Amino acid sequence: MIRFEKVTKTYPGHPHPALDNISVDVEKGEFVFLVGSSGSGKSTFLRLVLREYRPTTGRVYVAGKEINRLASWKVPRLRRDIGTVFQDFRLLPNKTVTENVAFTLQVIGKSRKEIKDVVPETLELVGLTGKGDRMPDELSGGEQQRVAVARAFVNRPMILIADEPTGNLDPTTSVGIMKLLDRINRTGTTVVMATHDSSIVDQMRKRVIELENGHVVRDQAQGVYGHQV
């Protein structure tokens, strides 16, 4: 589903590459944690998957497409196969919960009827039934993140990318979000999650890829956050 082949990414003006000759293979339906300190290359990894950047050398394949060669005008179509969740939720403050979730479908041109059917379904899946008319600032952080997950998943993407989704949440709320991501993963969606949250990684026992200075220093099935095995 996601494949990095000897990928190096160097940003202009930086002597050291953000990612240095890494090769990673993520299968369809996998749940992968991406761990490592700040500046280790996690965000660059995710941005390459989203084709916000192209690799400097090497090849990146996402959902069967080689993104190096993907024409700019085809990028939006690629991103419709990828849902994205961020630490800071990134909801539109002047739209209701329903509108925020529907926004994804609107901008990719889904019919009004389809939106009407799918949005409540997705809100139910993330546990926000009955809160569709609330504004984001009337919700707790955990609820806002659920809205963001609903928005990322409403289009039933093949891949869900989560960049520190629990970074702004307390541990109990974080567990709720992780259960949600796990449920989404069980529907067959590949989930790649960058995180600093060791307790979550340790609990979930999923594959862990650790980055350090742009290198993969560990790739472990059912791993934990730290180096202890």
Q: Which residues bind another protein (CB under 8 A)?
A: 50, 72-73, 75-80, 82, 84, 90, 92, 103-104, 106-110, 112, 151, 155
CB of 86 to another protein, least distance (A): 9
CB of 152 to another protein, least distance (A): 8
> Which is closer to another protein, CB of 107 or CB of 221?
107
> Which is closer to another protein, CB of 92 or CB of 217?
92
> Which is closer to another protein, CB of 9 or CB of 79?
79
- DSSP H helices, the chain, are 42-49, 75-79, 97-107, 112-125, 141-153, 171-186, 198-204
Tell which residue, 8, 49, 6, has the closest CA to residue 192: 49
> Which is closer to another protein, CB of 112 or CB of 179?
112
Length of the chain as a residue count: 229
How far apart are the C-alpha atoms of 73 and 37, rounded to whole Å? 34
Dihedral angle, C-alpha 122, 140, 158, 226, nearest 10 °: -150
CB of 72 to another protein, least distance (A): 6
CB of 27 to another protein, least distance (A): 23
**Contact by Cβ (8 Å): 184, 153:** yes
**Contact by Cβ (8 Å): 20, 8:** yes
CB of 226 to another protein, least distance (A): 32
> Which is closer to another protein, CB of 159 or CB of 204?
159
